[in-house]
Structure 1
Amino acid sequence: MARTAALKGRLASAGGQVSGWPWWVQVSGLYVAARLASAWIFMAAALHQGVNPWFPARPDYWSFINIWDARWYGEALQNGYPDVLPTDVSGAVQENAWAFYPLFPTLGRVLAGVTGMHPAVALTLIASVCGLGAALVVYGLFRLKATHGTALWGTLFFSTFPVSAVLQVPYAESLNLLLLAGALLLVVQRRYLSAMPVVVLMCLSRPTGVPFAAMAGLLLLYRLWQRRAERRRGEGTGEGHRTLHAAPAPGSAAPAPGSAAPSSGAELWSLAGLTAVSGIGALLWPAIAWAITGDLQAYTKTETVWRGHDLVPFRPWFDTGVMLFGPTLGVLAPFVFVALFALLMMSRPVAALGTELRLWCSCYLGYLLVFLHPQTSTFRMLLPLFPLALSAALVSRSRAYRGTVVLMFLLLQIVWIVWLWAWAPLPGGGDYPP
């Protein structure tokens, strides 16, 4: 009993010391620890990796993380993008680098050129640094909505999410999340003009421009409605636009700047500009592909090669539903999924995210429903829904609950890496992509 009490005392003392560290040190320490845990899982899985298309069995860590789409980013870095879309004898477009957005390989090319390091090392370093940066910005965004402790737990959930291991491999996810989190942070703060260059870069990192433009457009309509309603109330009471704010309770989250105040005319024009910039940014990469190849559908043709069929909005979800649940339940499954997500968006923990983040999550899921072909890569594509990590932390302040979530996420990381990242041939050839 005495030893147990002494151990608890030492742990409490250590916890007190850590809580006194600057927030960025705490976030960085938790994120690095999460990435080390993922690295250990990668290395353990590599020991069981058999014959594969890229390297000998039982590869080292660095070889093991440089597979799948990492090879395509390396191709774009070293050889650029083809002027003519590659086709087979029947004229069907084949897999090529146009499906992979240019900002990540361009940064890798610059870093490799300046330092002389191997391209794969440059891409891995950029991904790792951007992942850490994303965690810091995510904490800053969460801190606008919650206390330090809850924001820290939400960031830890983000850092240990079952597919978070992708943040340390040469994929563009970490760069995109850094830019997305930064853009959302600026939007919540109503710094719309500052968000514009960030959004343009985000649109050149991964295809998140369309849902962001939809979010900005809907937010503009909401702000216009809000301003009109405020004017009507002011006319009815004779009080104009005066808005009262209650002082926050001690230890509570700082309110987001201007979160309850009506939008000014300048703010609305800035938000309209952000909406336009987001829409243009969303079309920028397909337009570049068109300009270089001369094919208006160069990007979409390339993107759909991995699907095996043309893009038909919504249909893949019903096809997958039928495949999984049969002809009757399968048709109903997408509607049930949407209904459950709508209930989630109306729940109290998600409502605490505020208008902007709830709109983002809704628009991004809507984008996935319209354009995504659901498959094993879908798990990775859920990362932009990272604001829901804060909602998960807001469900309960219990350390047992929060610790259990982290533990389950780490266990599911093992499942994701062993099942999807490690390559194993399917009976019909190929493998499930991560």
Structure 2
Amino acid sequence: MSAARSVQATGTSEPTLNDRLFAALSRFLAPVGRAPWWLHVTLLYAGARFVSFVIFTAAGWQAEASPWGGQRPGYLEFINRWDAGWYEKIFNHGYPDSIPRNPDGSAQPNEWAFYPVLPVLARGVHAVTGLGWAASGALVATLAGFGAALVIYKLFRNFAPAATALWGVAFFATFPVSPVLQVPYAESLGMLFLAGALHLLIRRNYWGAMPLVILLCLSRPAGVPFAAVVLLHLFLRWRNRDSSPFPRRDMLSGGLLLLVSVFMAVAWMLVAWWVTGDRSTYTDTETSWRGTELVLFKPWFDVGIELAGPFWGPLLPVLLVGLAGLYLNSRAVRRLGPELQMWCGMYLLYLLAVLHPQSSTFRMLLPLFPLALAAAFISPSRAYRWTVVLMFSLLQIVWIVWLWQYAAIDTGVGWPP
């Protein structure tokens, strides 16, 4: 009997080259599969940040001269743009004793719009290593991003098995605006403290959440929606106290967490008032970029009218709220639990109230990171999940080339990221 007939008779065949390569790759990756969860998250996040590094570097080679440097800047010079320049001023000189004003009395943009934790930590790195602002700020932001990814994984594990939680972290790490997590901005610090505070709130560790809330509110303006979530969380515990005990010690510590959250929501405004003697320092500074006073919710209707005219324009924010409400009540988002669902809703409401919608709005959506886990819940299909990661990674190119560059390659117009 020939060899071919012998193989056919026994039902076996010689392994192909692809089979051998797959087997070798499986043996090579086997130790990674047995590695602890924190190593999985670290490797995943490092890979995502390397992709962003490559995109930044390639975009820098195409960049024209800007207020922050000349043509073809290197990586550190290229990422030290936009708001990073304001943090650099704080790093070098601190905050001004008074805010600069125009002849008509309106405030000029100044450092008081930016929170102190990032430049303070960068000063600490500088004191230890001698590194300048660009390297110190980027190092703090990048390390905080790694920490945020680890804490987000632990947060997601409250609601999902390990594999799904890891996919949620992958969506967060590759989100189109995720490159901001490695530049000298405070977003990565905000994500680290926010994820930790939400995790401890869900675990009912109110004492542990308090210092994280303080750090969060001195890193990014997130105190108002977080205080609202704490209030709703305590209300739900009180309402369900017959079926789920709400002991007095939790009432006390939870109430104190609520007070801390409410106070920290306005703490930076009070600090600015105390230093400058002007009680409207913070609000005037924040609105100096838009050129108008703060009127809650109005900017969204104004932009709607600019985009769609006086008839359809006012309906755009209403449509946006309706679509957001439908999604936040979808099955995938409900699986996040009431606290994360409430956080997403309260944060969106906060943005609708105070934000002037423009190109930086995309970056402002990053605190909605719990929706990354909801996106993983939509389908367990690997094809779907890898497609999301691939599309997010490609959209990073759009974000960096369109917004991060001072003058975009295609239009020659710069928009703040």
Instruction: Normalising by structure 2, report the TM-score.
Output: 0.93
Q: Which residue is equivalent to 1:248? A: none
* 2:238 alignment partner AA: L
The CA deviation string for residues 275-323 of structure 1, in whole angstroms up to 9 with x for no partner, is: 1100101111000000010110100100111111111100011111111
Q: Which residue is equivalent to 1:110? A: 124
Q: Which residue is equivalent to 1:246? A: none
**Cα distance in 2, alignment partners of residues 210 and 360 from structure 1:** 11
Bigger Rg over Cα: 2
The question of 1:286 aligning with 2:269 is answered yes
Q: Equivalent residue of 1:327, what SS?
A: helix
The CA deviation string for residues 38-57 of structure 1, in whole angstroms up to 9 with x for no partner, is: 00000111111012222111
The correspondence for 1:188, drawn from 189, 202, 205, is 202
Q: Which residue is equivalent to 2:12? A: none
**Cα distance in 2, alignment partners of residues 384 and 95 from structure 1:** 24
The correspondence for 1:364, drawn from 347, 354, 357, is 347
The correspondence for 2:149, drawn from 125, 129, 135, is 135
* 1:30 alignment partner AA: L
The CA deviation string for residues 241-278 of structure 1, in whole angstroms up to 9 with x for no partner, is: 5xxxxxxxxxxxxxxxxxxx342232222222111100
Q: Equivalent residue of 2:240, what SS?
A: helix
The correspondence for 2:219, drawn from 187, 205, 209, is 205
Q: Which residue is equivalent to 1:74? A: 88
The correspondence for 1:224, drawn from 223, 228, 238, is 238
Q: Which residue is equivalent to 2:162? A: 148
The question of 1:340 aligning with 2:317 is answered no
Q: Equivalent residue of 1:326, what SS?
A: helix
**Contact 2:148–2:188, Cα closer than 8 Å, also in 1:** yes
The question of 1:177 aligning with 2:160 is answered no
The question of 1:316 aligning with 2:290 is answered no
Count of residue correspondences = 403
**Cα distance in 2, alignment partners of residues 326 and 75 from structure 1:** 40
CA shift for structure 1 position 112: 1.0
**Cα distance in 2, alignment partners of residues 113 and 158 from structure 1:** 32
**Cα distance in 2, alignment partners of residues 61 and 124 from structure 1:** 10
Cα 1:99–1:278 shift into 2, 3 Å: same
**Contact 1:361–1:385, Cα closer than 8 Å, also in 2:** yes
**Cα distance in 2, alignment partners of residues 38 and 103 from structure 1:** 24
The correspondence for 1:3, drawn from 17, 24, 29, is 17
The question of 1:390 aligning with 2:390 is answered no
CA shift for structure 1 position 14: 4.1
Identity of aligned residues (%): 52
Q: Equivalent residue of 1:379, what SS?
A: helix
The correspondence for 2:32, drawn from 18, 21, 27, is 18
Q: Which residue is equivalent to 1:30? A: 44
RMSD: 1.8
Shifted more, 317-326 versus 180-189: the winner is 317-326
* 1:150 alignment partner AA: T
The CA deviation string for residues 209-267 of structure 1, in whole angstroms up to 9 with x for no partner, is: 1110111112222222222xx3xxxxxxxxxx5xxxxxxxxxxxxxxxxxxx3422322
The question of 1:352 aligning with 2:335 is answered yes
The correspondence for 2:136, drawn from 119, 122, 141, is 122
Cα 1:373–1:69 shift into 2, 3 Å: same
**Cα distance in 1, alignment partners of residues 26 and 299 from structure 2:** 52
Q: Which residue is equivalent to 2:177? A: 163
* 2:194 alignment partner AA: L
CA shift for structure 1 position 15: 4.5
**Contact 2:402–2:408, Cα closer than 8 Å, also in 1:** no
Q: Equivalent residue of 1:263, what SS?
A: coil
**Cα distance in 1, alignment partners of residues 17 and 309 from structure 2:** 58
Q: Equivalent residue of 1:77, what SS?
A: helix
**Contact 1:103–1:204, Cα closer than 8 Å, also in 2:** yes
**Contact 2:190–2:220, Cα closer than 8 Å, also in 1:** yes
Q: Which residue is equivalent to 1:253? A: none
**Cα distance in 2, alignment partners of residues 35 and 80 from structure 1:** 30
**Contact 2:109–2:288, Cα closer than 8 Å, also in 1:** yes
* 1:383 alignment partner AA: L
The correspondence for 2:279, drawn from 293, 296, 299, is 296
Shifted more, 114-123 versus 182-191: the winner is 114-123
Q: Equivalent residue of 1:301, what SS?
A: helix
Q: Which residue is equivalent to 1:85? A: 99
* 1:363 alignment partner AA: M
* 1:365 alignment partner AA: L
Shifted more, 329-338 versus 156-165: the winner is 329-338
**Cα distance in 2, alignment partners of residues 429 and 78 from structure 1:** 31
Q: Equivalent residue of 1:117, what SS?
A: coil
Q: Which residue is equivalent to 2:63? A: 49
**Cα distance in 1, alignment partners of residues 96 and 160 from structure 2:** 47
The CA deviation string for residues 4-58 of structure 1, in whole angstroms up to 9 with x for no partner, is: 2223333444454322111001100000010000000001111110122221111
**Cα distance in 2, alignment partners of residues 425 and 6 from structure 1:** 46
Shifted more, 375-384 versus 43-52: the winner is 43-52
Shifted more, 131-140 versus 110-119: the winner is 110-119
**Contact 1:223–1:268, Cα closer than 8 Å, also in 2:** no
**Cα distance in 1, alignment partners of residues 211 and 312 from structure 2:** 45
The CA deviation string for residues 101-120 of structure 1, in whole angstroms up to 9 with x for no partner, is: 01111111122123222122
**Cα distance in 2, alignment partners of residues 358 and 13 from structure 1:** 41
* 2:134 alignment partner AA: A
Q: Which residue is equivalent to 1:64? A: 78
CA shift for structure 1 position 329: 2.0
The correspondence for 2:312, drawn from 320, 326, 329, is 329
Q: Equivalent residue of 1:141, what SS?
A: helix
Q: Which residue is equivalent to 1:418? A: 401
CA shift for structure 1 position 202: 0.7
The question of 1:306 aligning with 2:320 is answered no
Cα 1:12–1:425 shift into 2, 3 Å: closer
Q: Equivalent residue of 2:365, what SS?
A: helix
Q: Which segments of 5 or more consecutive residues in structure 2 lack a partner in the other structure? A: 1-14
The question of 1:270 aligning with 2:253 is answered yes
